[in-house]
């Protein structure tokens, strides 16, 4: 009698192997991140350059006697116009960086030539994207801390509210901001050149979410549209937590929609990823440049 040989794969997918793949992606991204230390220069310069555009505009609009500033303070309720602007511009930069970093994670790996071979391995595919997010959150936290330190030292901006509430609001925003990044990453791998989509999404945040002005001064239809963007709630809640000492109770009207958007975008991001994975298997899109 001849012995039967059943073909077996060397890969044995399970929770542990998925975790190992996830850890390996985090480690790889961290090595790449620290291998090119020139990002430190960008980390120091960018938090200053973009907000300065609006801070200098605000100074010009205030006039030599500061009469315009009195109107701005009455309109916004903000006592520190620099702090008011920094919160909005930081949220914009956060979303912008996530779209370029997480959104283009798979595409960059494809261009590097490693995506297709990794994709063929019996690993949890979503870990390629999720693993990229860990080092990105660390670098983004550094970006926000450097922003706070620079504007504290150079412009005397101080947080009058609760730092813990500010952190809580930012943590609540992570699912919405990164969920959008996940959905975006799958879209990018499908359409290849997606710079226009980044410009569109960050443009919507710039116009509708009130990064440098209160949403209340927008026309009615624009205010209605702004309610569908999580960044509107994030900016409002961050300003309230940082400068008006708002507690959990006061922040709830912003936190609830922020978390709801988070659930929506995480589900949308994961679903888009699964759709892209299926499509890639059928059309060979992973190997197409």
**Residues in the site for other proteins, rule: CB under 8 A?**
54, 57-58, 60-69, 71-72, 75-76, 193, 195-197, 199-200, 203, 206-207, 211-214, 217-218
Q: Backbone dihedral region of 245: left (phi > 0), alpha (psi from -120 to 50 degrees) or beta?
A: left
| Token pair for 203 | 């443009």
Angle at 36 between CA 289 and CA 143, to 5 degrees: 100
Closest CB to other proteins among 137 and 207? 207
Q: Which residue has the tokens 């500061």?
A: 66
Closest distance between other proteins and the C-beta of residue 16, in Å?
42
- 131 and 29 in contact (C-beta within 8 Å)? yes
Other beta carbons within 10 angstroms of residue 11's beta carbon come to 10
Whole-number minimum distance, CB 231 to other proteins, in Å? 13
| Shortest distance in whole angstroms from residue 209 CB to other proteins | 10
State how far the Cα of 130 lies from the Cα of 29, in Å rounded to an integer: 11
Q: Which is nearer to other proteins, 200 or 267 (CB)?
A: 200
**At its nearest, how many Å lie between other proteins and the CB of residue 86?**
14
Nearer to other proteins, 119 or 184 (CB): 184
Identity of the residue, 39 or 199, whose beta carbon is nearer to other proteins in the bound complex: 199
- Using CA atoms, how far apart are residues 116 and 189, in angstroms rounded to an integer? 12
As given in the structure block, the two tokens for residue 35 are: 């291998």
Q: How far is the CB of 70 from other proteins (least distance, A)?
A: 8
User: Between 2 and 65, whose beta carbon lies closer to other proteins?
Assistant: 65
Question: What is the C-alpha R_g of the chain?
Answer: 22
Quickly list DSSP for 61-83. Answer: HH-TT-HHHHHHHHHH--S-HHH
Q: How far is CA 207 from CA 87, 149, 218, 229, in A?
A: 15, 27, 9, 11
By beta-carbon proximity to other proteins, the closer residue of 172 and 201 is 201
**What's the closest the beta carbon of residue 272 comes to other proteins, in angstroms?**
18
Q: How far is the CB of 210 from other proteins (least distance, A)?
A: 8
174 neighbors 102 (Cβ within 8 angstroms): no
- Do 89 and 212 meet the contact criterion of CB atoms below 8 Å apart? yes
Place of tokens 């620079």: 150
Cβ proximity to other proteins, 54 vs 143, nearer residue: 54
Going by C-alpha positions, the residue among 256, 214, 1 that lies closest to residue 88 is 214
Minimum CB distance to other proteins, residue 25 (Å) = 29
Q: SS3 for 266-284, per residue? A: HHHHHHHHHHHHHHHHHHC
CB closer to other proteins out of 99 and 255: 99
């Amino acid at each position: 009698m001849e012995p039967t040989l059943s073909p077996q794969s060397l890969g044995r997918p399970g929770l542990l192997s998925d975790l190992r793949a996830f850890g390996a992606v985090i480690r790889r991204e961290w090595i790449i991140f620290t291998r090119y230390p020139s990002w430190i220069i960008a980390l120091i310069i960018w938090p200053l350059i973009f907000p300065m555009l609006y801070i200098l505009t605000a100074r010009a609009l205030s006039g030599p006697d500061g009469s315009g500033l009195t109107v701005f303070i009455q309109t916004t309720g903000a006592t520190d116009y620099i702090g008011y602007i920094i919160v909005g511009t930081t949220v914009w930069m956060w979303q912008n960086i996530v779209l370029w970093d997480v959104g283009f994670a798979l595409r960059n790996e494809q261009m590097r030539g490693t995506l297709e071979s990794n994709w063929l391995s019996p690993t949890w595919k979503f870990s390629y994207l999720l693993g990229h997010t860990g080092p990105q959150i660390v670098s983004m936290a550094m970006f926000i801390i450097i922003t706070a330190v620079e504007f504290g030292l150079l412009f005397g901006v101080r947080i009058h509210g609760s730092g813990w509430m500010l952190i809580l609001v930012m943590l609540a925003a992570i699912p919405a901001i990164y969920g959008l990044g996940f959905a975006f990453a799958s879209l990018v791998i499908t359409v290849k050149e997606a710079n226009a989509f980044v410009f569109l999404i960050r443009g919507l945040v710039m116009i509708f979410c009130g990064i440098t002005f209160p949403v209340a001064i927008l026309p009615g239809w624009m205010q209605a549209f702004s309610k569908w963007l999580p960044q509107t709630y994030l900016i409002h809640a961050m300003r309230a937590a940082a400068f008006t000492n708002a507690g959990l109770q006061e922040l709830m009207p912003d936190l609830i929609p922020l978390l709801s958007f988070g659930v929506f975008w995480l589900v949308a991001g994961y679903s888009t990823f699964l759709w892209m994975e299926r499509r890639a298997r059928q059309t060979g899109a992973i190997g197409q440049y």
